[in-house]
């Protein structure tokens, strides 16, 4: 196998609807046109809707794709598993719905030649997003800035983040150790904690972070519950604040 330049990590939990839209084909078509070696790591998070079997069939004809089967630990656990298995010089994690298209990697990659270690997408315009989602995002910014800081980062929650291999291994091993390898969960949730904690660690350990405006289109999902997710996100931020006070992130 050629040297892997880019690893793409995609968490997958009951993603049959998106898979049937051909998202993996779109990713494959884009990456095969590139002149660098790549791999796509799909981490199944205990899906029960046939997603895992769908991906297994896909990778039979696409050798640059591979599947990791996890028990259901949530997005943070799935992304961490995939990143720590990745072999690329640069490691991206993105969402299966491709609300941020894979083509947006072309906006992130050049930043590494400028000396940045972590490059994150920023959704300045949230096309099609309902009012409840926009209010959620604004409330996260206000509360996060008050409790945690990160004043130079506008959008901590965009699921399109890329790292150098060194930064990725360091930060995600730290995340894994902090959470004792993650535990099985019930159902699904969307909270602010994982991304904020990851970026706080990156800043704390003096990695250079660049935020880049990217294209993003709202994709409807039944997993987002504005009230529950906002409350869970607040609890996560309070936990991070308590960890900061205890010196956990030193």
What is the pLDDT at residue 84?
98
The CATH number of the domain covering residues in 4-246: 3.90.550.10
Q: Which of 177-191, 192-206, 216-230 has the highest mean pLDDT?
A: 192-206
| Separation of alpha carbons 93 and 128, rounded Å | 23
User: Token match 């935020």: residue?
Assistant: 211
The model's pTM: 0.89
Domain ranges of the chain: 4-246
| Separation of alpha carbons 73 and 49, rounded Å | 16
Please check whether residue 57 is in contact with residue 26, taking contact to mean a CB–CB distance below 8 angstroms.
Answer: no
Distances in Å between the Cα of 157 and the Cα atoms of 38, 121, 141, 196 are: 25, 9, 9, 7
Residue 206 has pLDDT above 80, yes or no: yes
Percent of the chain at pLDDT > 90 equals 67
pLDDT digits (tens, 9 = 90+) for 5-22: 999 999 999 999 999 999
How confident is the model over 177-204, as a mean pLDDT?
81
What is the pLDDT at residue 193?
87
Q: Which residues face 162 on adjacent strands?
A: 92, 119
- Give the start-end residues of each E strand in 74-182: 90-93, 118-122, 161-164
User: Token match 């961490």: residue?
Assistant: 80
pLDDT digits (tens, 9 = 90+) for 49-83: 999 999 999 999 999 999 999 999 899 999 999 99
pLDDT digits (tens, 9 = 90+) for 30-50: 999 999 999 999 999 999 999
Q: Which residues face 163 on adjacent strands?
A: 91, 118
User: Token match 């997005």: residue?
Assistant: 75
């Amino acid at each position: 196998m050629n040297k892997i330049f880019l690893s793409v990590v995609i968490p997958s939990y009951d993603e049959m609807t998106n898979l049937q839209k051909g998202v993996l084909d779109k990713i494959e078509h884009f990456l095969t046109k590139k002149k660098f070696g790549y791999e796509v790591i799909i981490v199944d998070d205990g899906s029960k809707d046939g997603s895992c079997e769908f991906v297994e069939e896909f990778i039979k004809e696409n050798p640059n794709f591979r599947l990791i089967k996890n028990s259901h630990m949530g997005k943070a656990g799935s992304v961490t598993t995939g990143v720590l298995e990745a072999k690329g010089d640069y490691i991206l994690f993105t969402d299966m719905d491709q609300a941020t298209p894979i083509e947006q990697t072309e906006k992130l990659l050049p930043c590494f030649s400028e000396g940045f270690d972590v490059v994150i997408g920023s959704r300045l315009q949230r096309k099609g997003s309902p009012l409840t989602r926009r209010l959620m995002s604004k409330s996260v910014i206000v509360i996060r800035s008050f409790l945690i800081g990160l004043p130079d980062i506008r959008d901590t929650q965009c699921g399109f983040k890329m790292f150098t291999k060194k930064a990725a291994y360091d930060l995600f091993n730290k995340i894994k150790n902090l959470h004792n390898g993650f535990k099985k969960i019930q159902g699904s949730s969307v909270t602010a904690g994982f991304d904020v904690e990851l970026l706080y660690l990156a800043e704390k350990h003096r990695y250079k972070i660049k935020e880049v405006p990217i294209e993003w289109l709202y994709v409807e999902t039944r997993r987002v519950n504005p009230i529950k997710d906002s409350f869970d996100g607040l609890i996560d931020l309070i936990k991070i604040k308590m960890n900061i006070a205890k010196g956990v992130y030193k």
